[in-house]
Structures are given as C-alpha cells and as structure tokens.
Structure 1
C-alpha cells in the first residue's frame, strides 16, 4: 500500500501541471516530465523528451491553446512498487469561467526520480466519443466496463 505522502506527491504533480497550463508557462509545464518522457496528444502526435514537450507547448500556448485552462479529474491512482504510479483521469482544455465536461481520457505514468521527485514519464491523451461508446454498449453489452455496471 502506498504511503499517503506518495499519493499526495503524485497528485501534486498533476496540480502543478494544471497551474503551469493556467499561466501558459511551457517551462514549468515541461518541468513536470522526465527528461526522456513520451507525450501522445489526442490527435496522435508523439513527442519524446522534455525539450520537445516544452517547445510544443510554448507554440500551443501562443496559438491554438492561447487563453485556455486545463480541467482534470483523477479517476484512479495505482502504484506499481515504491517508485511507479499510474494515474487515469479525464481532462480537457477550456476557455472562460467554468470547465465543460471533460471529453478526453488520459493516462499518466509517473516515476520517482533519483532526486526524490515524482515526474511524468509517459502521458497519453485520447478523445472520448460518448455516442460511439453508447452505441457499442447498446449493441454489444459485454463491452460495458465492470466499473460502469
């Protein structure tokens, strides 16, 4: 069973990520990732390495994601040994006051590095398609995840 401190620490990484996004601070955003992290966007773009993540977000914050904030909802945190955690959640970028219902499902793999800090080693973001999901569940009920039954 993970220590409460570890759960708080990995959650704090996600909180720092959201805060860096709010400030459109690509360097602070990228600092939450390991040097060799992988990052897959919902459109399928694959980035490798902290530098790539920082530079892509520097561009995104100045263009397509300008003025946006990040909504994130943690669904599950699992630890695989003392130095590896997997967080599954929902998230989305939004503009304005209140976030809409998150349309993406995200997986973060975090590792505790030698300096004792938790950082994201891999991130995967998938666009959720509720209509397709509902149709598939209706036509093939055995596809419904046990957690939703």
Structure 2
C-alpha cells in the first residue's frame, strides 16, 4: 500500500488551474476541466452545463468587455477526499480583472469538484463560485 497522500496531487491540480486563470492562460485553464464539467457562477444567471458553454461565455466577455484576468490569489485551501477518485477543493479567491477598461478586485469563495482520471490526472468536473461574505 502506498503512503502517497492524494491530497498533494489534488492541491497541485487546483494550483495549476488557479495559476492558469490568474495569468489569463485560457488554453491551460480550460484544459484543467473535463468537457462535461458544469459551472455555477453568482455573476451569471444560469448554470453552464459544459466546458464549451463556459468557453463561449468567456469569449463573449473578452469580445464585448475587453475582459482580462490580471491576478488570482488562493487562500484557505481545503481538500476533502471522497473515496479514491473524487475530491472537493474549497478556497477563498481574490481576483483582479479588467473589464470595460477598469480594474476591479473581487473576493469570492469557490468549490471545485475534481475527478481522478485514468493516467493519474485530477480533472475539474464542477466549479461553484459565490461572493465572500463581508469581513
């Protein structure tokens, strides 16, 4: 039996996702999600039922608003393992974005559900973002 703790692999997968998002690397960011991943954002009125739907929304933000992620900082990270192939990653995020020619920093809470795929890769299958409560 291996002494390896899969939490470190989940944290590494989550870190890669957050880092790609924070540098507006859309190719690496969207590659961290399964094609059938789902998304719930407090800033968008309806659930997104696939990675492609999110990619289309993102492209609309870029085209219509000049949207760009400038930075993203993840804190208060927690991994909950559910068996050998499902993990729930929660954290606080502080993100600075540019839209409409103005920069804005937002504080949010995020849950990302990851699934362990053949070959050892953890892939995000669901993301839920909500505003952080006032401090």
> Structure 1 length as normaliser, TM-score?
0.70
Question: Shift of residue 58 of structure 1?
Answer: 3.6
Taking the aligned partners of 1:88 and 1:8, their CA distance within structure 2 comes to: 14
Relative to structure 1, the CA distance from residue 53 to residue 74 in structure 2 (aligned partners, 3 Å threshold; closer, same or farther) is: farther
Deviations 1:9-67 (A, max 9, x none): 11112211122223322221111111210011122442121222233334445636425
Taking the aligned partners of 2:116 and 2:35, their CA distance within structure 1 comes to: 13
Taking the aligned partners of 1:74 and 1:35, their CA distance within structure 2 comes to: 28
Taking the aligned partners of 1:67 and 1:123, their CA distance within structure 2 comes to: 17
Is this contact kept in 2: 1:61–1:67, CA < 8 A?
no
The structure in which a higher percent of residues are strand is 2
Aligned residues: 127
1:121 matched to which residue of 2?
125
Taking the aligned partners of 1:110 and 1:71, their CA distance within structure 2 comes to: 20
- SS state at 1:68 partner: strand
Q: What RMSD over aligned residues (CA atoms) do the two structures have, in Å?
A: 2.8
Larger-gyration structure (1/2):
1
* Structure 1: stretches of 5+ with no match in the other structure: 132-149
Q: 1:110 aligns with which of 107, 114, 124?
A: 114
The structure in which a higher percent of residues are helix is 1
Q: What does 1:1-149 correspond to in 2, within 5 Å?
A: 4-44=4-44, 45-61=46-62, 63=65, 65-94=67-96, 103-130=107-134
